[in-house]
Amino acid sequence: MSIQYDIGIFGGDRRQMYMAEAFLQKGYRVAIYSLDGTIQHKKCNQMSTLSELFEKCKVLIGPIPVSRDQVTITSKIINTDLTIAHVAYLLTQEHTFIGGAIPSPITELCDNKQIPYYDLMKNEKITILNAIATAEGTIMEAIASSGRNLHGSNCLVLGYGRCAKVLAAKLKALDAYVTVAARSKDALAYAEAAGLLTVYLPDIKCILPSYHYIFNTIPSLVLDKDALELVDKDVTIIDIASAPGGVDYEYAKQQNINARLCLGLPAKVAPKTSADILVTEIYGLLKEVIT
């Protein structure tokens, strides 16, 4: 290796651009590859290949998630060398690898070769703060997809994890009537304590017709054909669960039900804020890695 840069950033979306700019402002030397845009800065250079980036950088920051299909690296720009296999091939003990939802082939390699790595999506602070952007983006998608106000509408939130908690609170603040459906008795108790209506998840079918909006956060098939047969014909369904989501989209399309799978909302609605959150956490790591 011939280290010339402190940080190498590759793939991803607008968040990676903002991250690169933030690190440059902090005085780091930054190399970039396959980012969604260009940066003009004396301490920043665009690399021509992923191999060149890995050769010249000690700390490597990948996208969030690192991969969506477990084969290629997440990127707005298509490059044939952006694969999980190639990243694993290029990593050495001299590197520190940082990314989100790092695929197992990379983590297993790092464990076996004692290569330091850090999964940003296992950082509780990041996931909680990201839930804010996710909730705001979900509300934005709902408003854009429906002809109905959220104010005074009946909203059903499926699940009550990090994102669902923030989403339900923001919907309530907009004067929507919010019901939370979950399996966990503890989750339902917390939702009730937050002033929300609650229902046991297996019992939702009897109440589905009364909702104008349904928000799914559960990463399994919750709204199957039987459930979709019961929803209001003008319902708006916003699904923010991990792909493939929790809705039978084929049946929804057949029945002309307004259902949308909305992924990667922090990057779409608040890339600058999301990048700032990531940079703050990574900065603490860099002070230990870069001397």
**CA nearest neighbour of 258 among 145, 179, 157:** 145
> How high is the pLDDT of residue 285?
86
> 127-268 architecture in CATH?
3-Layer(aba) Sandwich (3.40)
Question: What stretches of the chain show up as alpha helix (H) in DSSP?
Answer: 14-25, 50-56, 84-90, 104-113, 124-145, 162-173, 185-193, 225-228, 249-254, 265-269, 271-289
- Tell me if 103 sits within 8 A of 67, measured CB to CB: yes
Question: What stretches of 92-177 show up as alpha helix (H) in DSSP?
Answer: 104-113, 124-145, 162-173
The number of beta carbons lying within 10 Å of the beta carbon of residue 80 is 8
Distance CA(24)–CA(44), nearest Å, equals 7
> How high is the pLDDT of residue 290?
63
Pairing of the two strands 197-200 and 177-182 = parallel
For the chain, the farthest-separated pair of C-alpha atoms sits apart, in whole angstroms, at 65
Half-sphere exposure of 194 (CA within 13 A, CB side): 24
User: pLDDT tens, 139-170?
Assistant: 999 999 999 999 999 999 999 999 999 999 99
Contacts of 19 (CB under 8 A, 6+ apart): 9, 61, 275, 278, 279, 282
- Tell me if 233 sits within 8 A of 252, measured CB to CB: no
Residue type, 4: Q
Structure token pair of residue 97: 């690898």
Distance CA(133)–CA(99), nearest Å, equals 19
Q: What is the DSSP letter of 241?
A: S
The number of beta carbons lying within 10 Å of the beta carbon of residue 279 is 20
The H or E element spanning position 58 is strand 57-61
Structure token pair of residue 122: 């296992």
Distance CA(143)–CA(238), nearest Å, equals 10
Buried b (16+ CB within 10 A) or exposed e, 180-203: bbbeeeebbebbeeeebbbbebee
Distance CA(149)–CA(191), nearest Å, equals 23
The H or E element spanning position 205 is none
User: pLDDT tens, 34-53?
Assistant: 998 888 888 899 999 999 99
Q: Which CATH superfamily is domain 5-120 in?
A: NAD(P)-binding Rossmann-like Domain (3.40.50.720)
Every domain of the chain and the residues it spans = 5-120, 127-268
Where the chain has pLDDT below 50, the residues are: none
**CA nearest neighbour of 217 among 173, 170, 162, 266:** 162
> How high is the pLDDT of residue 42?
87
Alpha-carbon distance values, 81 to 105, 214, 234, 281 (Å): 16, 40, 45, 28
> How high is the pLDDT of residue 83?
98
> How high is the pLDDT of residue 173?
98
Domains 5-120 and 127-268 fall in the same CATH topology: yes
Residue type, 129: L
